[in-house]
Structure 1
Amino acid sequence: MRIIKPCTYTVLSLALASVTQMTMAQDAHRSMPMSAQHESPSHDSSHQVMQIGIESSQMEHPAEHAEHAEHAEHAEHAEHANASSIASRAASAQHPVDHKREHGGQIYQATEIDSRWLNNADGRGRLKTEIESRIGTDENKLFIKLHADKAESQDADYAAQVMYSRMISDFWDAQIGARYRVDEHQVTDKEQLDAVVGLHGLAPYFFKTDAYLYFGTDKQVSFSLETERDLLLTQKLILKPYLNLDVVLSDDSAYAQKTGLSAVWLGLETRYEINKKLMPFIDVAYSYEKGNQHTARQAETGSEKQWWYGVGLRLKF
């Protein structure tokens, strides 16, 4: 008797199992309907194989697939943003907006009247009145300034100033115009007309400032500076130090003033704002006036220094 080796036995067993499986598959195929026999499972099988391959690829390289998905999302977002920007620019071109009408283009008007009665140490009184009115926009305005100064038992001096004001920075306007003045103390040439150029605005540390150069006949050239600042003690009680000075640069007129620093007013005003339209105040000031030089029409006068104190009323509307 011949003995079969184990490996030969294994091969024979596998061959027998394969023949048996093929025979059973043929019998099942004969028992299936004809329509089912023509259906091919190749598509489903290939689809499943592809799906398994994709899933295995994603499992093998998850970071790479996530990066591709993120790039696709950013590209889509950028495309939508560009489309929205183009649409917005097209709408703006069709319907332009005038921002000046929203802010800065409005025409407004403001007027301030300042009247004060002052007395010196000798008991002599003096009435000083200032009126300032402006109308226009933030960029272009018309300024009108009126000044009256009347000492007790004397005729009053008047001055009217009209200027065009143009904004040149956030806090400054350049101004140009003319000044008409009347001096009743003079026998002749009582009326004078001067050209004016200057600056109006807010200096550092909130000092409201007006600085002007005046050019008149007979080589009359002068400079004036007015500056002031509000210091709030309360919302209604306010201190205001102020400085007004005049400098004569040249003067060959019949009633010439001495060149150099001609007049200075240094004062402290304390006002109470009943409201933003009605504001009474008290005022204490120190003044210096250099005097007139000797000419054919007048005698030379010396300088005067004195203290002034008084009350006043300011109106705004």
Structure 2
Amino acid sequence: MIRASAALHLLVLAAAPPAFAQSHAGHLSTPQAGQAAPPRAGCVRRGAPTADAARLGQPGAPACPTGYVPERSPAADPHAGHDMGAPGQPQVAPASDPHTGHAMPETPAPSADPHAGHDMGAPEQPQAAPPSDPHAGHAMPETPAPSADPHAGHDMGAPARPQAAPPSDPHADHPMPGTPAPVAADPHAGHDMAGMAMPPDVPTSADTPGRPPEDPAPPAASRGPAHAADLLFDPAEMAAAREQMRAENGDVRTTAVVFDRLEANLGDGEEGFAWDAEGWSGGDINRFWWKSEGEGGFGDEVEEAGVQALYSRAVAPFWDVQAGLRQTWRPVENRTDLVIGVQGLAPYWFEVDAALFLSNKGELTAAAEGEYDQRITNRWILQPRAEVNLSAEDIPELSIGAGLTSVQLGARLRYEIRKEFAPYIGVEWTKRFGRTADYLEAAGRNTEDTRIVVGLRAWF
């Protein structure tokens, strides 16, 4: 009888399906109505992957009911609390389980969930997110995590609620959401440019719009001898060396002869001629100048001719002061004058020559003339010219009255066959004023005339 009972019991056991063949193998028993969930957060069943029985009774460990043990502390995670879901940074879940580490804070087991209370520790059983899960759509492999979830990618371990990082973690609970990654390509990222002192804008030319002003030279720079080399070498030898250098580079002696006007004039039934020439010999600073001018009629004697011998001294760039004597020959009476004047190049390339004349009879007169070379082409040049004469007193024997005696205006167009040789043609107008005009009218001569001039300008 006993043997028959044992055989019957073996047959019953063989007919029953094995436990591992059941569809819910390894599942926790479904909670019955009225059965409560685990009483405290941070506790998991014994044997779960995150269970840590060594924490039982330790400070800070939760008190767990029978069959539950404290969950393993996540202190080994150096990035606990960090925001790993920044835009553009894909969050890669562990290859074994794409849902491992999803945050399930305080998610109650819904009645519609057939797997409520299942053991989630098995890596081969992926956990489907319930519809009420606020973290649905967490980053899958190769999928960027949504930036709105500050806990994306955290390893929370327990599906019940997130585990706070322990105080010992220096990075725990740092506010990392929304922090953009630094742009390494910008070398001035984070630089404070507001307080930098920028150089003032001091325009110097069209190509150089601005530069910082230069500091003045220190007062000591203008002290000491005129030539610093005299402190190291014999001053006499250095003076001789400077004279030699001046002779080789600046003290060059030149000589020139210029016929500015050598012309014939036609007008008012009279034909005549005139000349105006000058020349010099010397260096850049000191020169001997000579000047000559005169006029007359064809078939008649020379009406007036004068020659000046002058010492010229350069007192400024392009300007010379001149002093000397002038001898004038006239059919009526000759004069010898003391001359002092200035000659040079005014701004915009106007050539100016002005002088005072004091005659041997105490008569003071003055003359000034100016001309300008307007280049039309490389060879065609138009030269306007003006001359003014004045007198401090009446000189009846020379038909000169006090004040403005005469004005002469002209223009000459020349063609430079060579620089040294240029024929020209032009027109010249002359008018006498005041007592000078009265003297000429009394002598039966014109006080105003206009003439055509043809001549030659040359120098060598």
TM-score (norm 1): 0.65
Larger radius of gyration: 2
Residue 230 of structure 1 deviates from its aligned partner by: 0.6
Residue 129 of structure 1: aligned partner: 275
Residue 146 of structure 1 deviates from its aligned partner by: 1.4
Distance 1:265 1:101, change over 3 A: same
Residue 88 of structure 1 deviates from its aligned partner by: 11
Q: Secondary structure at the match of 2:251?
A: coil
| Residue pair 1:219, 1:253 contacting (<8 A) in 2 also | no
Distance 1:313 1:258, change over 3 A: same
1:236 to 366, 379, 395: 379
Residue 105 of structure 1: aligned partner: 251
Residue 276 of structure 1: aligned partner: 419
Structure 2: unaligned runs, 5 residues or longer: 1-227
Residue 160 of structure 1: aligned partner: 307
Give distance in 2, aligned partners of 1:167 and 1:119. Answer: 39
AA partner of residue 161 (structure 1):
Q
Give distance in 2, aligned partners of 1:249 and 1:196. Answer: 15
Residue 64 of structure 1: aligned partner: none
| Cα deviation digits, residues 65-90 of structure 1 (max 9, x gap) | xxxxxxxxxxxxxxxxxxxxx99974
Q: Which has the higher helix share?
A: 1
Give distance in 1, aligned partners of 2:308 and 2:421. Answer: 25
Superposed, which structure 2 residues align to 1:59-208 within 5 Å? 90=232, 96-97=241-242, 98-113=244-259, 114-120=261-267, 122-156=268-302, 157-184=304-331, 186=332, 190-208=333-351
| Cα deviation digits, residues 172-205 of structure 1 (max 9, x gap) | 1000011101111x1xxx2210110000101121
Question: How many pairs were matched up?
Answer: 225
Give distance in 2, aligned partners of 1:211 and 1:104. Answer: 27
Residue 312 of structure 1: aligned partner: 455
Give distance in 1, aligned partners of 2:263 and 2:450. Answer: 15
Residue 10 of structure 1: aligned partner: none
Superposition misfits of 4+ residues, deviation over 3 angstroms: 86-95, 251-256, 290-295, 298-303
Give distance in 2, aligned partners of 1:191 and 1:101. Answer: 42
Structure 1: unaligned runs, 5 residues or longer: 1-85
Residue 159 of structure 2: aligned partner: none
Give distance in 2, aligned partners of 1:252 and 1:285. Answer: 26
| Residue pair 2:314, 2:321 contacting (<8 A) in 1 also | yes
AA partner of residue 104 (structure 1):
G
Q: Secondary structure at the match of 1:254?
A: helix
Residue 218 of structure 1 deviates from its aligned partner by: 3.6
AA partner of residue 314 (structure 2):
M
- Overall identity of the aligned pairs, in %: 27
Distance 1:237 1:251, change over 3 A: same
Residue 287 of structure 1 deviates from its aligned partner by: 1.0
Which structure has the higher relative contact order (CA within 8 Å, separation 6+)?
Answer: 1
Q: Which has the higher strand share?
A: 1
AA partner of residue 318 (structure 2):
F
Distance 1:309 1:302, change over 3 A: closer
| Cα deviation digits, residues 17-75 of structure 1 (max 9, x gap) | xxxxxxxxxxxxxxxxxxxxxxxxxxxxxxxxxxxxxxxxxxxxxxxxxxxxxxxxxxx
Distance 1:211 1:101, change over 3 A: same
Residue 221 of structure 1: aligned partner: 364
Q: Secondary structure at the match of 2:316?
A: coil
Residue 112 of structure 1 deviates from its aligned partner by: 0.8
Give distance in 1, aligned partners of 2:359 and 2:408. Answer: 23
Are positions 1:263 and 2:406 aligned together? yes
Distance 1:91 1:234, change over 3 A: farther
Residue 35 of structure 1: aligned partner: none
Give distance in 2, aligned partners of 1:143 and 1:293. Answer: 33
Give distance in 2, aligned partners of 1:92 and 1:266. Answer: 59
Residue 253 of structure 1 deviates from its aligned partner by: 5.8
| Residue pair 1:219, 1:251 contacting (<8 A) in 2 also | no
Distance 1:316 1:170, change over 3 A: same
AA partner of residue 366 (structure 2):
F
Q: Secondary structure at the match of 1:106?
A: coil
AA partner of residue 196 (structure 1):
V
Q: Secondary structure at the match of 1:168?
A: strand
CA-atom RMSD, angstroms? 2.6
Q: Secondary structure at the match of 2:352?
A: strand
